[in-house]
Amino acid sequence: VERDKLNKYGRPLLGCTIKPKLGLSAKNYGRAVYECLRGGLDFTKDDENVNSQPFMRWRDRFLFCAEALYKAQAETGEIKGHYLNATAGTCEEMIKRAVFARELGVPIVMHDYLTGGFTANTSLAHYCRDNGLLLHIHRAMHAVIDRQKNHGMHFRVLAKALRLSGGDHIHAGTVVGKLEGERDITLGFVDLLRDDFIEKDRSRGIYFTQDGVSLPGVIPVASGGIHVWHMPALTEIFGDDAVLQFGGGTIGHPWG
């Protein structure tokens, strides 16, 4: 669906998380969004912590980001996107923010699905699907649940639950960079998210053959401590159907 909406085919989609994650005014935040999109990226992203703080209320951020989006689109002739974080304390408030995003004409919103909860995520996913919005999923809080091997729940289960709940992108680890994971295990996540039919592969943690039937796939996102020198490895690991996000790797780079 992303490729049809963005009219971009045959390569991974490129994104950037706006840094610093907290402290910018809505206007300066919008300027950073514009510069990243104008520079050639397909997407920019709210960090999971960016919500509606006193220094940047959500409505102001949505407005300035939409302005940046349209300006970059007009100057490049490409379709761009910014993941507007719609996560909120209640389902009603989340839907309200998603409605506002749709009224602004932006193509995508974002949700922290573990902090928001599965019911809230499914409600938002249904709204997005019915109204032509893409839904980017951030896995904030996953390490509390899946990092410790002796208790909790493996991310493979959380990823599969997300596919059942609904979403278009989800962070799946990078193999290289800051949030790295074992290569085979990460590829197991990618298979479960992306493929219709997943063959048994114990090395990847897939212990039995699974048929996704007509369940919509989810595009894996590689994000966290990656930069331009990781590109060859990332494209080799994830292939074309992925989103590669360089936050500090873009904004922290002297050439931007």
Tell me: pLDDT of 114 over 90: yes
Mean pLDDT over 175-181 rounds to 64
pLDDT in the model for residue 151: 86
More confident residue, 1 or 114: 114
For 27-83, write each residue's pLDDT tens digit. Answer: 999 999 999 999 999 999 999 999 999 999 999 999 999 999 999 999 999 999 999
Active-site residue (options: 19, 71, 126, 227): 19
For 200-216, write each residue's pLDDT tens digit. Answer: 999 888 899 988 888 88
Tell me: pLDDT of 194 over 70: yes
Please state which of the ranges 90-104, 170-184, 231-245 shows the lowest mean pLDDT: 170-184
For 132-145, write each residue's pLDDT tens digit. Answer: 999 999 999 998 99
Q: Strand, helix or coil at 129?
A: helix
Q: Which domains does the chain have, with CATH numbers?
A: 2-250 (3.20.20.110)
- In this structure, the strands spanning 197-198 and 210-211 are antiparallel
Which residue is listed with tokens 């304390």?
89
DSSP 228: G
Query: Does 149 qualify as catalytic in the annotation?
Result: no
pLDDT in the model for residue 179: 53
pLDDT in the model for residue 180: 52
Global confidence as pTM: 0.91
Active-site residue (options: 138, 142, 160, 171): 138
Q: What percent of the chain has pLDDT over 70?
A: 96
Tell me: pLDDT of 160 over 80: yes
Mean pLDDT over 233-250 rounds to 88
* Closest-CA residue to 251 (of 7, 24, 16): 16
Query: Does 138 qualify as catalytic in the annotation?
Result: yes
User: What are the C-alpha distances in Å from 18 to residues 43, 98, 106, 150, 206?
Assistant: 10, 20, 17, 35, 35
Tell me: pLDDT of 146 over 70: yes
